[in-house]
A and B are shown apart, each in its own frame.
Chain A
């Protein structure tokens, strides 16, 4: 059955080059068009409350999280179903990450961190659906996530440790002459953190999707052989699935690392 399905799909791929060939061959590469924010119900003015495709796909992310973590665990089975074991896996994965990286006393931040992780990972995966819109490819989205993390962690640090939190920048193990220089570097690197968090996530996702579109754009110039980019896209798509997860993981684990700095600022 699987074999039959495979051969039918392969035949469709081969025929598609003939069926869907453009009238005039030529490169038509618009890698950035997929990121356009458009209002859902017509009109071209986008106010802050307008329901756009951003709204739609963020809603799908909420639905996916709800389906996985709430419906999945609805049976409360001692022996888990498949959805429930994925939900438990996600829970255990993030819980262990928070506990291992940020320390035992960071567990009270666990709900916030798993919120971040679940949103990013579902948005990344939903963005991989063809014709979908990838919310995490926008600097506005990832920038807000990064700024929320940055502000929350800075406030936590000052609330818990007061002025001593600034000791994070004062490397007491270095020679005295070097300390001001190191402090400057530490301050800069501290403020680069949200920028790098934001750019890393959006850049990775955007780069992957743009490359997929570039490969797809080659099809227009290849005529009957336009099925060839499909193989490249398939391979790259697999890599993108990996990247979608790893970037969510990296964002979360870096949040945990920064949280550890805020909880235990001694350098």
Chain B
């Protein structure tokens, strides 16, 4: 209650001071406020409509244009990149098939050479083998003859040592008979 009376006294003091409690309801200031508000609004409107808004709209449009251009350029560049990649891939595929072709050709050439060499080597080997066989046959034949000579010599020497008479024909026949393998 004490504070109430205090406040009421304060209100009375204000009333005595000349202004009502709420400055908002002091109608003597309305003309002043309305005048200055109109001035302010007109000034702000002029600033905005003459300078600020066209400028900001220009900036926004410019940015939109730049972004659109950049996007288009990026699209172009992307298309070019895709193109380049395709060309690269094509070149790569070409090179690969070319390489394969060359490899196949080379392989075929080498194969031919190898085949020839093998055939030649086979022929040589066959010839050598034939010669060797012939030589072996000769050697065998001479070896048989030598065996016969040695055998008949040995036989005649044996017969002589045993005191018999040297009969060449009989010895030869016996040797021939024994050496007939």
The chain B residues found within 8 Å of chain A, CB to CB, are 3, 6-7, 10, 19, 21-26, 28-41, 43-45, 47-49, 51-53, 55-60, 62-63, 66
Determine the residue in chain A with the shortest Cβ distance to B47. A66
Contacting B at CB under 8 A, from A112-140, are 112, 114-115, 118-119, 135, 137-140
CA distance A38 to B2 in the complex (A): 31
Interface of B is mostly: helix
CA distance A115 to B41 in the complex (A): 7
B contact residues around A37 at 8 Å (CB) = 23, 26, 29, 32-33
- CB<8 Å pairs between A and B, sample of 24: A30-B10, A33-B23, A37-B32, A49-B32, A52-B29, A54-B29, A54-B32, A54-B37, A58-B36, A61-B40, A61-B44, A62-B47, A69-B47, A69-B48, A111-B48, A114-B53, A115-B41, A118-B48, A135-B37, A138-B23, A138-B29, A139-B24, A145-B37, A148-B41
B32's partner among A52, A88, A206 (CB-CB below 8 A) is A52
B contact residues around A78 at 8 Å (CB) = 59, 62-63, 66
Contact B59 A88 (CB under 8 A): yes
Q: Is A36 in contact with chain B by the CB < 8 A criterion? A: yes
CA distance A27 to B5 in the complex (A): 12
Interface of A is mostly: helix
CB distance from B177 to the nearest CB of A (A): 125
Contact A32 B53 (CB under 8 A): no
Determine the residue in chain B with the shortest Cβ distance to A37. B29
Contact B41 A48 (CB under 8 A): no
Q: Is A267 in contact with chain B by the CB < 8 A criterion? A: no
Q: Is A65 in contact with chain B by the CB < 8 A criterion? A: yes
B23's partner among A36, A70, A76, A111 (CB-CB below 8 A) is A36
Known: A119-B41, A140-B34. A88 touches B58 (CB 8 A): no
Contact B36 A52 (CB under 8 A): yes
Given contacts A69-B56, A141-B34, 16 further A-B contacts (CB under 8 A): A27-B6, A29-B7, A35-B24, A48-B32, A49-B32, A62-B44, A70-B47, A73-B55, A73-B56, A78-B59, A84-B59, A111-B49, A114-B48, A119-B44, A137-B24, A206-B24
